[in-house]
Structure 1
Amino acid sequence: MSARQDTLFRYLNMLQLIPRAPHYRATSTLQALLEERGFKVDIRSIQRDLEKMSGHFPLLCDKSSRPFRWSFDPGFKSNLPAMDTATALTLVLAEEYLTGLLPQVAIDQLGGQFHNARKYLDSLERNSFAHWTQFVKAIPNGKALIPAPISHDVWQWVTDALLNGYALDVQYLSRAKNQVKTYVLHPLGLVARHSVTYLLATVNEYDDVRQFALHRIQTVKQSQADLRTQRGFNLDDYIAQGAFGYPVDDGAVNLKAKVRSDVAWMLSETPVSHSQVLSEPDENGWVLLEAEVPNDQQTQWWLQGFGSAVDVLEPKSWREAIHKQARKILGLDE
């Protein structure tokens, strides 16, 4: 590789390593990260490179301390790599779908890519994509509530702490007590569920994992306390155990239910579990559904949403609970 090519690739790697404001990276940190990628260069050379590139990119330099710290302007939108039609349509679909699931501050993080995708499609005036908005829609499954708003600072601090491994000092509005509490949180994971995004963390000196809705975090900053890691914690296992499904217990149940043909067709394409089995329709058009599912209230609510198109047979406790709920609803008319 020629010296010119080596410099070009170093520049590209350096640009990839610089975060958007309000976060930053010092030249010494950039030097260490570049060395991990195989580029050996001294700090003075990195500083000169950054000053050259700041003439072509919206780089911000904090010179209040040494080594200097660098970041991109928060509104910077990159056009690299070049857009193509398939990618643009995928991004538009992703934006429409995610807008109903993720907080606006998370959508804003991808705003540059979404903007470029729409701009690219808008530019195709001479072909069939000229009216692309008429052909691309994403519809959420079920009623999607408007995501709870999260401040930009909270999102930046939480995601950075989670990925870079440090504790957070937060003031948090407790839903149970309707009071603002001060905690030291030790981040373990981030989960977007319906219209609320949760930080999973241990609190202060305790070891139990708790869920904190990001929109209830009122202030946040990096804590001076050392991060307390949780050995053996696995996010997939945590979710699989029913942490977000209002579990009745830690086990599973064998679901048996009669379902109408249209429900059976949907489940044949999108099964309720990997163990799902559907019978042939009987003379009345009912299909027997058998599947192992979590013993949680969320699955029961999902079944209730089908109304008379689903008749739960087992577990008997679920059947009784659903019938009891139906009787309560009918009693509202009395």
Structure 2
Amino acid sequence: MMVKDEGVTMGRPDPLRRSDMSTTLLRQWHTLRQIPRYPKKIDARTLVERLKAEGYPTTQRTIQRDLQALSAVFPLVCDDSSKPFGWSWMRDARGLSLPSMSTSTAMTFRLAEAFLSHVLPPATLRTLQPHFERAAEVLQATPGGQGRYPEQLQVIPHGQPQLPADVSEATLEALYEALFSARRLEVTYHKLDAQEPQEFEVHPLGLVARDHVLYLVGTLWGYDNPVQLAVHRILRVVVSDQPRRELDGFDLKRFVHSGETGFLVEPEPIELELRVAPMIQRLLSESPLGEDQRTERLADGRARLTVTVPYTKKLRAWVLGYGRLVEVVRPESLRAAVRDEARAVLAVYDDAVG
């Protein structure tokens, strides 16, 4: 049976027409996925090439019509100050995702926001802001959740909380571009203990977030030893047209786990032996220092703990942070370092305050 109304014929859908509509919908969906967030932009010709690579051959004229239609519905902006025109999502546009965000996913995003705010620079965190805001909306709309989720979710950073060092968006964009395109960098860097900034040629290998600081890992000029540059101390960065020099056999995960990012004191792992108070023994049984950690109860109530770990400055600071609750037995080099530091601290506090 066919129903006609104002010249529109309604009835069983035409399979060919449905196929055309599906193709258009998929093409426009993939188009939206390819458009970057402002200030980055993409032109119609590049979109045609990318859609063709994804299996959606089309024409530049079709994409131009799609963009005009999509911009009437979605927060897209066109930079027509020069040709070819560039298209972007608005800087504060909400993320486009299907399916819709569930309550558990929204809680995960809010937990990630609370945790990452102590770890990542504000410029990095801003790129996730639309997702965080969407998560907040989902939780606010959940029955019984209006206004209550912030008090039900808190993250306590390990150690003394510090605000992340600020990094410019331009610096981060340059680092990301160099890493993804495997190109070298020209960097002006101000070392913590240097009077004046220095110029470096950097071959980037990766980024590492440690505590509240983001580090660029790479090699300098023609050297093979990887170094770490605190990103917030980079004053100027230029992405070169030249490819980076590859470091054979380098693995960022292995580099991190070797203890390099904790500033190695000795190149080889150490056999660490500690005597720890019962409370510390329980904490370390829940979250061990290493896979081969072993403990045994001592006559004085403490526990003897042995484990293989990298000998880093961070390990030394960790031991000192527990004071009399953790005693280093071996290696002797670490025991001596902790003893000397304890004596130095005692001397400071024994001096009269003038």
On whether the aligned pair clears a TM of 0.5, the verdict is yes
| 1:241 counterpart residue number | 258
Please give the alpha-carbon distance, in whole angstroms, between the structure 1 residues aligned to 2:299 and 2:187: 61
- Within a 5 Å distance, the mapping from 1:174-323 to structure 2 comes to 174-279=191-296, 281-323=297-339
The percent identity for this pair of structures is: 33
* Contact residue 144 and residue 194 of structure 1 kept, 8 A: no
Please report how far the alpha carbon of residue 234 of structure 1 lies from its aligned counterpart in structure 2 after TM superposition. Answer: 1.4
Please give the alpha-carbon distance, in whole angstroms, between the structure 2 residues aligned to 1:8 and 1:17: 14
Please report how far the alpha carbon of residue 252 of structure 1 lies from its aligned counterpart in structure 2 after TM superposition. Answer: 0.7
Deviates further, 140-149 or 324-333: 324-333
Q: TM-score, normalised by structure 1?
A: 0.90
* Contact residue 121 and residue 132 of structure 1 kept, 8 A: yes
| 2:130 counterpart residue number | 112
Please report how far the alpha carbon of residue 75 of structure 1 lies from its aligned counterpart in structure 2 after TM superposition. Answer: 1.7
1:98 aligns with 2:113: no
Please report how far the alpha carbon of residue 239 of structure 1 lies from its aligned counterpart in structure 2 after TM superposition. Answer: 1.8
Amino acid corresponding to residue 289 of structure 1 in structure 2: L
Please give the alpha-carbon distance, in whole angstroms, between the structure 2 residues aligned to 1:45 and 1:166: 34
Please report how far the alpha carbon of residue 5 of structure 1 lies from its aligned counterpart in structure 2 after TM superposition. Answer: 1.6
Please report how far the alpha carbon of residue 105 of structure 1 lies from its aligned counterpart in structure 2 after TM superposition. Answer: 0.9
Q: Which of residues 141, 145, 157 is equivalent to 2:158?
A: 141
* Contact residue 184 and residue 223 of structure 1 kept, 8 A: no
Please report how far the alpha carbon of residue 259 of structure 1 lies from its aligned counterpart in structure 2 after TM superposition. Answer: 1.1
Q: How many residues align structurally?
A: 332
Could you give the per-residue CA deviations for residues 53-93 of structure 1, whole angstroms, max 9, x where no partner exists? 12222223334555443221212122634232211211111
Q: TM-score, normalised by structure 2?
A: 0.86
Please give the alpha-carbon distance, in whole angstroms, between the structure 2 residues aligned to 1:165 and 1:135: 43
Pair 1:227–1:75, CA change in 2 (3 A):
same
Deviates further, 182-191 or 97-106: 182-191
Please give the alpha-carbon distance, in whole angstroms, between the structure 1 residues aligned to 2:192 and 2:123: 22
Deviates further, 217-226 or 15-24: 217-226
* Contact residue 101 and residue 144 of structure 1 kept, 8 A: no
Deviates further, 127-136 or 295-304: 127-136
Please report how far the alpha carbon of residue 129 of structure 1 lies from its aligned counterpart in structure 2 after TM superposition. Answer: 5.7
Please give the alpha-carbon distance, in whole angstroms, between the structure 2 residues aligned to 1:184 and 1:222: 10
Amino acid corresponding to residue 141 of structure 1 in structure 2: H
1:30 aligns with 2:30: no
Please give the alpha-carbon distance, in whole angstroms, between the structure 2 residues aligned to 1:165 and 1:24: 21
Please report how far the alpha carbon of residue 116 of structure 1 lies from its aligned counterpart in structure 2 after TM superposition. Answer: 1.7
Larger Rg belongs to: 2
* Contact residue 272 and residue 309 of structure 2 kept, 8 A: yes
Pair 1:227–1:311, CA change in 2 (3 A):
closer
Please report how far the alpha carbon of residue 266 of structure 1 lies from its aligned counterpart in structure 2 after TM superposition. Answer: 0.9
| 2:70 counterpart residue number | 53
Pair 1:8–1:139, CA change in 2 (3 A):
same
Deviates further, 4-13 or 99-108: 4-13
| 1:170 counterpart residue number | 187
Please give the alpha-carbon distance, in whole angstroms, between the structure 2 residues aligned to 1:161 and 1:328: 45
* Partner SS, residue 249 of structure 1: coil
| 1:43 counterpart residue number | 60
**Alignment root-mean-square deviation, CA:** 2.2
Amino acid corresponding to residue 301 of structure 2 in structure 1: G
Please report how far the alpha carbon of residue 154 of structure 1 lies from its aligned counterpart in structure 2 after TM superposition. Answer: 1.3
Please give the alpha-carbon distance, in whole angstroms, between the structure 2 residues aligned to 1:63 and 1:165: 31
* Partner SS, residue 244 of structure 1: helix
Task: Note the residue ranges of structure 1 that are not aligned, 5 or more in a row.
Answer: none
Please give the alpha-carbon distance, in whole angstroms, between the structure 2 residues aligned to 1:270 and 1:284: 23
Pair 1:182–1:311, CA change in 2 (3 A):
closer
Please give the alpha-carbon distance, in whole angstroms, between the structure 1 residues aligned to 2:44 and 2:90: 17
* Contact residue 188 and residue 235 of structure 2 kept, 8 A: yes
Task: Note the residue ranges of structure 2 that are not aligned, 5 or more in a row.
Answer: 1-17
Pair 1:226–1:313, CA change in 2 (3 A):
closer
Q: Which of residues 73, 85, 90 is equivalent to 1:73?
A: 90
* Partner SS, residue 265 of structure 2: strand
Please give the alpha-carbon distance, in whole angstroms, between the structure 1 residues aligned to 2:91 and 2:41: 11
* Contact residue 139 and residue 145 of structure 2 kept, 8 A: no
